[in-house]
Amino acid sequence: MTTWLRLTDVVLLGVLAFAAGCGDQTMLVRQSSTNGNKPRNTELARQLNHEAAGQMRDKQWAKAQSLLEQSLKADPAFGPAMCNLGIVQQQQGKVIEASQCYQRAAERLPDQATPRNNLALLYEKAGKYDDAVSLYDKAHSLDPANAEIRANLARARCRRGDRDESLKQLLTEIATQDPRPQWTQWAHDQQRRLFP
């Protein structure tokens, strides 16, 4: 069974371990059902997740957590709430719990890049560059136009010590296409340093 969710239910992520809540776009994305025969109230879960996103924007982590837990009681298979709960856990310094939430969200949202990107940020911060690169690479393949994911992948590959043609191309894309000046400058600097 497939359930359709508004993009407002899919979490957006900021750069390096600071994640933001959901946007207000209305595009639809697909979520697989993994809940079996248990009754699900996906609409209530969506509403509670949306309220939690507002609390997250206001940095009201305890209120957001309560709303997200209610959302997951309404629909335990609701991936966007699980991903947002990961962000709340991360902001509260609960890295293991956050990583578990992101892993479950990735399972529930197999076509979405965000949970993988969020989890990769945790791996990168912990210095587990191979794991981070693998997850960023998967996220990038799911959302190749996402500038943040592309930059995260390049940064992790640089930190890992990669020096190949695909990294060179990735840095060129960032240097020429990224809308954020700090990232274009970073990519130019990395190109000069790694590929003189």
Residue 156's domain comprises 128-196
pLDDT band per the 50, 70, 90 thresholds, residue 36: low
pTM given for the model: 0.80
**Domain count across the chain:** 2
Q: What is the pLDDT of residues 111-159, one digit of tens each?
A: 999 999 999 999 999 999 999 999 999 999 999 999 999 999 999 999 9
123 lies in a domain? no
Strand, coil or helix: 30: strand
Q: Of the residues 112, 139, 168, which one is the last residue of a structural domain? A: 112
Dump the DSSP string for 32-80.
E---TTS---HHHHHHHHHHHHHHHHTT-HHHHHHHHHHHHHH-TT-HH
DSSP β-bridge partners for residue 5? 29
Q: How far apart are CA 38 and CA 50, in angstroms?
A: 23
| Cβ-proximal residues to 187 (8 Å cutoff; 6+ apart), any chain | 151, 154, 171, 172, 174, 175, 178
Mean pLDDT of 28-57: 77
Domain annotation covers residue 122: no
